[in-house]
Amino acid sequence: MTNIKCPQCGRDFVRRVPRAGRVEILLSAFYVYPFRCQLCGHRFRSFQRGVRYVWVQEDRREYDRIEINFPVTFSGENVSGEGMLLNLSMGGCRFTTTADLGTGMIVKLALQIPGSVPPVIVDAAVVIVRKTDPGNASVEFLRWQETERERLQHFIRLLIGRGADSKPLQA
Ligand SMILES: [Zn+2]
């Protein structure tokens, strides 16, 4: 377990992310690895003396998801509906829904974050539905107003600050 802080926002909620390109593969031979801040999205490299990582398939995600339940509504070209959030990160979320969502659909989302009026709006998110995960859908956030992004960031920061004992780094 390391304690790496984001050089941009100073928080230690960072996740090691996949190496991109030859340079980063080379750097990893010298214990320099890429990370992404889970709050501000800043990507950076950090030296971790003597630390060797072994990649597994699930490690390819860039953000860790926080388990949380609150309502979400969505609308797309031929679909609209509502669901209940299962988890959330600055990169996307997963929710239960009875709506007929399909992989590749683009939807607009309204996240009804607790104690917050109005909801956080994500202008565009791409849907991913897995056969192995019936009744649930995931989305990756594609486009939103900076003000909305900041509101969600603030909410996630509160969740983390509440001592959810998050362990974003998995060696
Ligand atoms: Zn940061």
Find the 67 Cα to ligand 1 centroid distance in Å.
20
Residue range 80-138, pLDDT digits in tens = 999 999 999 998 999 999 999 998 899 999 999 988 679 999 999 999 898 888 899 99
Find the 131 Cα to ligand 1 centroid distance in Å.
34
| Secondary structure E strands in 17-135 | 32-37, 43-47, 66-67, 71-76, 80-88, 92-97, 106-111, 120-128
Q: Does 48 have pLDDT greater than 90?
A: no
Average pLDDT over residues 128-151: 91
Find the 102 Cα to ligand 1 centroid distance in Å.
33
| Residue, of 56 and 77, whose pLDDT is higher | 77
pLDDT for the residue numbered 166: 44
pLDDT for the residue numbered 56: 57
Strands 92-97 vs 32-37: parallel, antiparallel or unpaired: unpaired
Find the 98 Cα to ligand 1 centroid distance in Å.
35
pLDDT for the residue numbered 131: 87
Find the 6 Cα to ligand 1 centroid distance in Å.
5
Average pLDDT over residues 4-28: 88
Measured at the alpha carbon of residue 9, what is the angle toward residues 4 and 13, in degrees to the nearest 5? Answer: 40
Find the 168 Cα to ligand 1 centroid distance in Å.
13
Calculate the alpha carbon distances from 127 to 38, 99, 101 in Å: 21, 12, 7
Q: Write down the pTM of the prediction.
A: 0.70
